[in-house]
Amino acid sequence: MKTIVIYSSKGGNTEKVANEIASELNCQCVKIAKDFDKSTLDLNGFDLVFVGTGNYVAKPDADMLNYLKDMHLKNSRQFALFITWFGRGKSDKAVFDKIKTAIEGNGQEMLESCYKCQGEGHTAMSRLIARLMGHDARGHPNAEELVAARKWATELAKLS
């Protein structure tokens, strides 16, 4: 089975998780950003695609969402989502649903298993707001969370 990790990251937390998963599965890891040239990545050769994004007030990264909406794949493959954020609540479900809609809108399969990691905000202001709201995410993703991400990815790769 051929696997790839694609991710978007503003503050670096999603990137840390993406690199851990790619290292564990010994696969390619590609950052999707505003200036990303879509023609340089062909997902048609992969069976399982791990997708990583931050959660920005119940929304996934816009660059990732746009990439997923615009991808043109010949055959169906499986996608698995991992999310990082510094808040609490149910906003991760909204992110999952938006990514799932984009993926399934292209005739692809979104796996229900999702890895979630409470990450540190990417700006001093976001960290301050998080602390004022009672969320202290400093030091995340920590070693334990990265091990859990590796385990999650390995289990999914075995099942797919």
Distance CA 76, CA 120 (A): 34
- What's the mean pLDDT in 21-39? 95
Predicted pLDDT of residue 135? 46
How far CA 9 is from CA of 34, 82, 110, in Å, comes to 11, 12, 21
Encoding tokens for residue 24? 């564990």
Q: How far apart are alpha carbons 91 and 95 in whole angstroms?
A: 7
Q: What is the pLDDT of residue 136?
A: 47
Q: Is the backbone of residue 127 left (phi > 0), alpha (psi -120 to 50) or beta?
A: alpha
Q: What are the Cα distances from residue 30, in Å, to 14, 17, 18, 33?
A: 12, 12, 9, 10
Class of domain 3-159: alpha beta
More confident residue, 124 or 29: 29
- The per-residue pLDDT for range 36-76, each reduced to its tens digit, is 998 899 999 999 999 999 988 889 999 999 999 998 898 99
| Mean pLDDT over each residue of the chain, to the nearest integer | 87
